[in-house]
Amino acid sequence: MSTIKKVDRKIIDSCRKYAVPVARISLFIIFFWFGFLKVLLMSPAAGLVAALQVQILPFLEPTTFVVILGLGEMLIGILFLFPKLTRAAILILVLHMFTTILPLFFLPEIAWQAFLVPTLEGQYIIKNVALVALALQVGISLQPMDECEIPAKKV
């Protein structure tokens, strides 16, 4: 085998070995950190989140909404650290992502500066596509539940 093929094989083997653990840690860092900033009411996104809340849940206090969203993000991050809780993490992430894209439609004056030209806030929202892709990558590493079952003992 040539040196180039050996190096290629090493790279691919390393990617296969480390991709999912690195993805889990990355998702934890991003969700926990951004969520923690919301809980502390120090997030640069707090204004955007509060503006969305006024549009979709006007009966709720904006600060409460920001903190609840932050706690949810922190939970997503923590769940991704535990392989047995990945299904729950992905479910909550999907629900969360639905909420995070809403400003693109409900707050176009904040999310867009021109047609198909996002503002910095809009870019912040659109980058979530990469987080969804990363979560899906972790998800495909799971074994289907029907394959996880312990076979019954034969009598």
| Residue whose token pair is 């849940």 | 57
Would you list the domain boundaries of the chain? 12-148
Q: Is the pLDDT of residue 80 over 60?
A: yes
CB within 8 Å of 53: residues ≥ 6 apart: 60, 62, 65, 66
Residue 31 near residue 43, CB atoms below 8 Å: no
Average pLDDT score over the chain: 92
Give per-residue pLDDT as tens, 97-152.
999 999 999 999 999 999 999 999 999 999 999 999 999 999 998 888 766 665 55
Burial class (CB in 10 A: 0-12, 13-18, 19+), 20: middle
Q: How confident is the model at residue 37 (pLDDT cuts 50, 70, 90)?
A: very high
pTM for this predicted structure? 0.85
| Between 152 and 34, the higher pLDDT residue | 34
Give per-residue pLDDT as tens, 81-106.
999 999 999 999 999 999 999 999 99
